[in-house]
Amino acid sequence: MRRRTTERLIYVVIALAFGGYLLYPRLVGTPSSDAPLSGDHGAAGNVERRDAAQPAKAKSKGVQPQVPHPIIVQSHESTRGEVTEDRMHGDMIGMINPRKPGFELRPYVSLSEETLEMKREAHTQHCFNLKRSDSLPLDRPVPDHRDKRCKEIEYPHNLPTTSVIFVFYNEPLSPLYRSIHGVLDRTPEHLLHEIILVDDGSDADYLKKDFEDYIKLLPKTKLVRKSERSGLMDARSYGAEVATGDTITFLDAHIEVSKGWLEPMMARINEDRKHVVMPIIDSIDPDSFNYMRGGLDILGFSWGMGQKSIGSRRRTRVEPMPSPIMAGGLFSMDRKYFFDLGGYDPGMKLYGGEELEISFRIWQCGGTLECIPCSRVGHVFRTGAYWKGQVYTVPGHVIVKNKLRAAEVWMDEYKEVVQRVMPPLPRGMDLGDLSAMQEIRRKFQCKPFKWFLKNVYPEMFVPNDEESIEASGEIRNPQTNACFDTLGASHQGAKIGVYPCHHSHGTQEFVLSKAGDVRVAAMDFDNCLDRGNGDGSVGIWPCHQTGGNQAWKWDRTTGLFGDATGDFCVEVRREQTANSPFALHLAKCDPKDPMQQWHVGQPKSDN
């Protein structure tokens, strides 16, 4: 017992003496060396501040400041400094013994004992159960959901290195720390060049000095701060400019990487620097924090500029899978290629639309975007089940503007479809300067969007394809000047209604195909008008393209609009409903009844 105590005292004295030696140059103000530091752990504890309005420094104008190696505080003698398969960067502060600067595990009740009120409190401000997260170890093991063939692949040793970039704004400590520790634990030492934490203007007290002190203890980890919040794209761009690895890997601040996550992505980039790759994104339950298989892989987009899964496309378990769109939060690409391709659109602000814009640009300008099945990363998908507030405040018009910018630059004539579906910008607001991305398109002689639809996303329904469209626009009854309208419905099974025509697309925009289905623009053209309710009403259900209750016919001569057999037609009646002074019904067709006569086409105000 005495011998063990004496040994511990010796370790403490040595650590203190070594720490004083390392800190002395900083205390007396001696400039740090420009030369890179040697050693297994690399530089750590780098804290840099930058004003949000200040442009990022070009790498050629200066070298990032270097700091001494950290003192790795060991918490368990038997594993001191040991590098294992589960701890590829060795034991670190916070891994076994949680008593340390910045964070301490907080025991929480079992899932079965949680009350609804406890859940609401735990989810407040974050839309995930923070108390549950705070009770879990920072180095907890996560399931390995890779196909067994992935586990048998032997990758070359000399793959590209990566700089992992986390952007955060008032992120709670436990999910952020768990994200960082997971990367350090499960990333081969020779492939992880650095971790760059970009604080996008956080004002939370827990992310100040204690947080800085904690980060200084971690290997290869650098913290850069911005004085004001400038948004995801600008913060990521700054992180990429600070990075010096061969590749850059963007990750959200509430993720957990799984075993073998990086090697397959680096191997794919090593084959061709124009390969942009992303992992399969597994789901971390926002309440229980259980790590579960499945989430996001191959993604497409809607004409409302949202993301959606492509359910009809075949999946593979090992081979890379081309994906039209990325989720945006998690991907890797060659660092120089990122800048050659223009980085993020400098005119996009805060959040939203950047994942579409950069995906279009990658594909149309000669690159490829792929999902790598052998790489898996868990992500906390937030939920509003227990708290309905906003985690991040982003004005709606900012997101609309970002998405319309992407459409304007990359989608050619198909931007008109987007403009018919999305809400317009506020009066007096324009899209801003588009010259940077337009110059990229000219420089690389990027392909037209029609090529993208044909070769990358052939599953996409195109509502302005003259070969397959009979008519599109509003469906208007001239007698009442009432139009088909979703009346704000956004769920399957809702009933279509009629409302005074407003001639501004949106809820009154429909597409009648030559196959006879009527697609609803406000529901991204994935849902169709359906007579299957059985009560004389018209519902909205997923398009099945097999006719039946979704087969419609419009007679341009009589104006009748009804089923393909001509037995029942749509009729408008002057009946006050909850949302409109009119009601819509199916009735026996009568070509002489003006209440059954309809015109399908673009509003007159558009002509």
CATH code, domain carrying 175: 3.90.550.10
Lowest mean pLDDT among 10-24, 316-330, 385-399: 10-24
Q: Give me 449's structure tokens.
A: 């969007």
d(CA 221, CA 102): 15
Mean pLDDT rounded to a whole number for the chain: 83
- Residue 139 is part of which domain span? 40-380
For residue 17, pLDDT beyond 70: no
For residue 475, pLDDT beyond 80: yes
Model pTM?
0.80
d(CA 364, CA 358): 10
One-letter identity of residue 182: G
Does residue 452 fall inside a structural domain? no
Residue 440: which of 366, 365, 369, 367 has the closest Cα?
365
Does residue 251 fall inside a structural domain? yes
Q: What is the pLDDT of residue 567?
A: 86
For residue 23, pLDDT beyond 50: no
Residue 43: which of 63, 8, 69, 20 has the closest Cα?
69
Does residue 421 fall inside a structural domain? no
Task: Give the CA count within 13 Å in the CB-facing half-sphere of 282.
Answer: 23
Kindly state whether residues 154 and 261 are assigned to the same domain.
yes
Characterize the bridge pairing of strands 192-200 and 162-168. Answer: parallel
More confident site: 283 or 27: 283
Q: What is the pLDDT of residue 104?
A: 67
Does residue 142 fall inside a structural domain? yes
Does residue 282 fall inside a structural domain? yes
The arithmetic mean of pLDDT across residues 354-358, rounded, is 97
The residues pairing with 338 across neighbouring beta strands, listed in sequence order, are none
The arithmetic mean of pLDDT across residues 442-455, rounded, is 97
Kindly state whether residues 376 and 473 are assigned to the same domain.
no
The arithmetic mean of pLDDT across residues 64-88, rounded, is 45
Kindly state whether residues 365 and 474 are assigned to the same domain.
no
The arithmetic mean of pLDDT across residues 349-357, rounded, is 93
Does residue 189 fall inside a structural domain? yes
For residue 579, pLDDT beyond 90: no
Does residue 138 fall inside a structural domain? yes
Does residue 364 fall inside a structural domain? yes
For residue 220, pLDDT beyond 80: yes
Q: Give me 484's structure tokens.
A: 């088909």
d(CA 25, CA 101): 23
Which of 380, 415, 440 corresponds to the end of one domain?
Answer: 380
Instruction: Find the helix or strand (DSSP H, E) in which 261 lies.
Output: none
The arithmetic mean of pLDDT across residues 276-282, rounded, is 97
Number of domains in the chain: 2
Kindly state whether residues 356 and 491 are assigned to the same domain.
no
Q: 41 CB contacts (<8 Å, ≥6 apart)?
A: 69, 70, 72, 89, 90, 219, 220
CATH code, domain carrying 597: 2.80.10.50
For residue 273, pLDDT beyond 80: yes
Which of 347, 380, 413 corresponds to the end of one domain?
Answer: 380
Kindly state whether residues 236 and 347 are assigned to the same domain.
yes
Which of 380, 400, 434 corresponds to the end of one domain?
Answer: 380
Kindly state whether residues 278 and 147 are assigned to the same domain.
yes
The pLDDT tens digits of the residues spanning 390-410 come to 666 778 889 999 999 999 999
Torsion angles phi and psi, residue 299, rounded to 5: -130, 145
d(CA 245, CA 243): 6
Yes or no: say if 427 and 450 are a contact pair by the CB < 8 Å rule. no
